[in-house]
Amino acid sequence: MDHAELATLLTPEALRLLDSLGRIDSTDDVAAAVSRLRAAGTPPELVSAVVGQARLRTRAAAKFGPFAERMLFTRAGLEQASRLAVAARHAGRFRDAGMTRVADLGCGIGGDALGLAGIGLHVLAVDADEITAAIAAYNLAPFGDTATVRHATAESTDLAGIDAVWLDPARRSAGHSETRRTRAADWTPSLDWAFDLASRMPVGIKLGPGFDREQIPDGVEAQWITVDGSTIELVLWSGALARPGVARAALVVHGDAAHELTASGDAPDAPVRPLGAYVHEPAGSVIRARLIGEVARRLDAGMIADGIAYLTSDTTTTSPFVQTFRVREQLPFDLKRLSKALRERGIGTLEIKKRGVDIDPASLRTKLKLRGDAAATLLLTRVDGARVALLADRL
């Protein structure tokens, strides 16, 4: 998006036209909408702007629900925005810590600021990109004086009167469509600046879930978050935003339900035990937080092998922190014999999961030449140093 497209969008005519388009789910829907608008004499630049926004609004529903129907987006901004349900949970932490005025530095299109303003906190939303800041201002306009948006850098923002900061360093190259990940040394603001700020006031710093644990400062709470099976972020909380005695946390969100493991540090792994009737795969946030051992002890389970994040047990006990599979049988870890065994069992739909083995599941699925109406899960891993293929059913 450039300034001309933004100016085209921010007119009453364009916004009315955008609202009238409704959902655009596919390229066929895009083509139909373009043809209809062009036939009605709509200028090409207006057609392009509103149809593109309608497509982004449709995609944004997964993150923002019905709120997406009145928001504006850039493609990169939508990809990088927090899910509103997660933003609301973060906002609740600020409120529960007694914060009333929060600066959102690197606000993007305003996803996290929406969560903060939505529970009545006063928000100063700041972004270094002029177009992105303008879009954030549009998205936050319904909150009136509760939300103020500025085009500025995080480093230049005056934090006088601010109780706490939410900080999302730019971890990708500049742009509104195609962007690429950058090295930690190139993030803006820099990690040194962010960590220094966090040492002086309550701050939440949003990072990627794969952030190098060796760089996590002492004295902060590190919280990894998994939503509907995808591990989406790591947040470092400092000052009054960090919970006493909590250094590691794994939050797992499924739909409207949320469950969390907390600990004062990494949990020691449970001992390795023989393969049982069940295999449990911990959520990514549990693995990243190194709390697998805590989950194992709750399930009366053991590690399937050293260094492999699968647990095994003989009981049906499960938990929100794992995906559980009932093992049917062990199959040969050989392409021809495995393919033959699956065809004999009529398995045409196969979920393939792997840990500890160098295999491309998509390529393997093609080579297996599956046929049949049955479905199952294939777990590829190592037990006692040998590769194993476990045919299982997801519970």
Are 315 and 242 contained in the same domain? no
Predicted local distance difference test score (pLDDT) of residue 385? 87
DSSP 101-154: EEEEET-TTSHHHHHHHHTT-EEEEEESSHHHHHHHHHHHGGGGGGEEEEE--T
Whether 272 is in a domain gets the answer: no
Whether 273 is in a domain gets the answer: no
Are 69 and 163 contained in the same domain? no
Average pLDDT, the chain: 93
Predicted local distance difference test score (pLDDT) of residue 91? 97
Summarize pLDDT for 344-366 with one digit per residue, the tens. Answer: 999 999 999 999 999 999 999 99
Structural domain ending residue among the three candidates 11, 41, 73: 73
| Residue 176, token pair as written in the block | 């509104």
Are 160 and 247 contained in the same domain? yes
Predicted local distance difference test score (pLDDT) of residue 69? 92
| Residue 149, token pair as written in the block | 């948006």
- Tell me which residue range forms the domain holding 30: 3-73
Are 175 and 240 contained in the same domain? yes
Summarize pLDDT for 248-269 with one digit per residue, the tens. Answer: 999 999 988 999 999 999 999 9
Are 208 and 304 contained in the same domain? no
* Contact in structure between 334 and 359 (CB atoms under 8 Å): no
Are 346 and 231 contained in the same domain? no
User: Distances in Å between the alpha carbon of 172 and those of 137, 168, 177, 188, 192?
Assistant: 22, 11, 11, 9, 17
Whether 188 is in a domain gets the answer: yes
Whether 271 is in a domain gets the answer: no
Q: Regarding beta strands 257-263 and 248-254, do their DSSP bridges make them parallel or antiparallel, or are they unpaired?
A: antiparallel
Predicted local distance difference test score (pLDDT) of residue 57? 94
Are 310 and 247 contained in the same domain? no
Q: State the pTM of this model.
A: 0.90
Whether 270 is in a domain gets the answer: no
Whether 235 is in a domain gets the answer: yes
Are 308 and 345 contained in the same domain? yes
Are 68 and 82 contained in the same domain? no
Total number of domains constituting the chain: 3
Structural domain ending residue among the three candidates 263, 286, 315: 263
Summarize pLDDT for 119-135 with one digit per residue, the tens. Answer: 999 999 999 999 999 99
Amino acid letter, 123: V
If the chain, 395 residues long, is cut into consecutive pieces of 10 residues, what is the mean pLDDT of each piece? 87 92 89 92 92 94 92 91 92 97 96 95 96 95 95 96 94 58 76 96 96 94 96 97 97 93 95 96 97 95 95 93 96 92 95 94 93 96 93 95
Greatest Cα pair distance, the chain, in angstroms, is 71
Are 257 and 318 contained in the same domain? no
Are 107 and 239 contained in the same domain? yes
Are 255 and 325 contained in the same domain? no
Summarize pLDDT for 58-71 with one digit per residue, the tens. Answer: 999 999 999 999 99
Whether 303 is in a domain gets the answer: yes
